[in-house]
Every structure is written in C-alpha cells, then in structure tokens.
Amino acid sequence: MKLGFDARGYAFEAGLDVLRQGYASASKALADDIERVRYAHAVYDASPEFIGERDDEGNILWEQGTILTMEQETVEEALEALRKAFVLAAYHHWERAIRAYTGSDQNAKYRQLVARAERKGIPAVPDMAKVYRLANTLKHNSGHHGEVLFELWRSLFGPFFNARPDSDWYRAISLSDDDIEQVMRIIEAAGPKVWPHGRPFPLSVSEL
C-alpha cells in the first residue's frame, strides 16, 4: 500500500513556503523604501529650495539630491543582494531535503542527488540545472558555473555583458521578482511532495 502523506515532503514544501513569505515581506519593505526615496527626490527636484552646503567660494560640498540618489542606489543594491540570498537559501533547502530523502552524505554531487532522488520517485526537473548553476555562480562567483549559466539563462545578464573567465559573475547577475518566483517553482517541482500520489480528499472547505 502506498502511503499518501509524506512528512518529509511536508517539511520541504512548508519550508519553501516560509522562504517565499519571508522574501515577499523583505522585498516589499525594500521596494517601499525605494519608492519613498524616489518620491522625496522628485519633491526636492521640484522645489526651488537648496538643501546642502557650500564652501567659501560657493562650490557645493554636498546637496540633498545627491544624498537621495546615493540612498536609492544603496537600497536597490540591498534588494538585489536580498534576491541573491534567497536563491541560495532556497537551493540549499532543496539540497538538504534531497540529501536527507536519499540518505546521501555531504560529498554527494548535484547530479548524484538528482539521480538518487529520481530512483526514490522524485521526477527530475530539467530546469533545476539552471538553478544549480545560478546558486553556485552566486556562492562562488565562479566562472566555471557562470559560463554555463550564461548559456542556460542569458536573461539574467545585461545585454552588454561580455562573459569572460575573470568576470565578476556575482555582480553581473540581475534578478527580478519574477526570476525569484521562477526559481521557487522549479525548486518546488524538484523536491519531495507532501502528497506524492495526489491528495486523497479535500483538506479544507475551500477545496470542496
């Protein structure tokens, strides 16, 4: 008899949901901050008032518009770093789950984990190779992984990016909210399922 409910699948899916919710909350806070700074900048630009400091000769030492530009750039960089951190967190969540599910030790490589998971009934997801390359490019700033990622997922790189072994791969990658959601969907599909054989019955009134 096949068991319908898998506690390991539940732990994996619930953990991924927590990561999704954490990303949504954190990214919204930073996005709201960016909009706040943009609005403050627009208000300042529309005002005739100068806020800043000049030296004795009238040269500007600092000015509010420049400060606001720097603040916006700082928050935008923080949002980009947040997205990359959540990619790594989600990938490592998958990796730990598959190691536990297949009884693999820390020396098992990505391809071994995928093959062992497939033997345990978890279908291989071809797009998971993109997430694997993305995570390792971010983690190691690796040209080895980066060059493969560039071929697999070119939209993560700017149109003028020139792939070289000495490229700063971490900074070259630019992620959007849609990219993060795609990563989450791929990882979810590649992991253990709470109901591997389908839900046997509705779990709530909303599912009736």
For the segment 118-125, the average pLDDT, to the nearest whole number, is: 95
CA–CA separation, 17 vs 12, rounded Å?
A: 9
Q: Residue 33 to residues 73, 125, 149, 176: CA-CA distances in angstroms?
A: 11, 37, 31, 17
User: How confident is the model at residue 200, as a pLDDT?
Assistant: 66
Which tokens go with 46?
């529309």
Pick the residue with more confidence: 52 or 207? 52
Q: Is 47 left (phi over 0), alpha (psi -120 to 50) or beta?
A: beta
Confidence of residue 15 (pLDDT cuts 50, 70, 90): very high
For the segment 172-186, the average pLDDT, to the nearest whole number, is: 98
Amino acid, single-letter form, for residue 72: Q
User: How confident is the model at residue 208, as a pLDDT?
Assistant: 43
pTM (2 d.p.): 0.89
Pick the residue with more confidence: 158 or 204? 158
Which tokens go with 205?
């009134």
Q: Residue 27 to residues 23, 24, 36, 86: CA-CA distances in angstroms?
A: 6, 5, 14, 10
For the segment 163-173, the average pLDDT, to the nearest whole number, is: 91
CA–CA separation, 14 vs 11, rounded Å?
A: 5
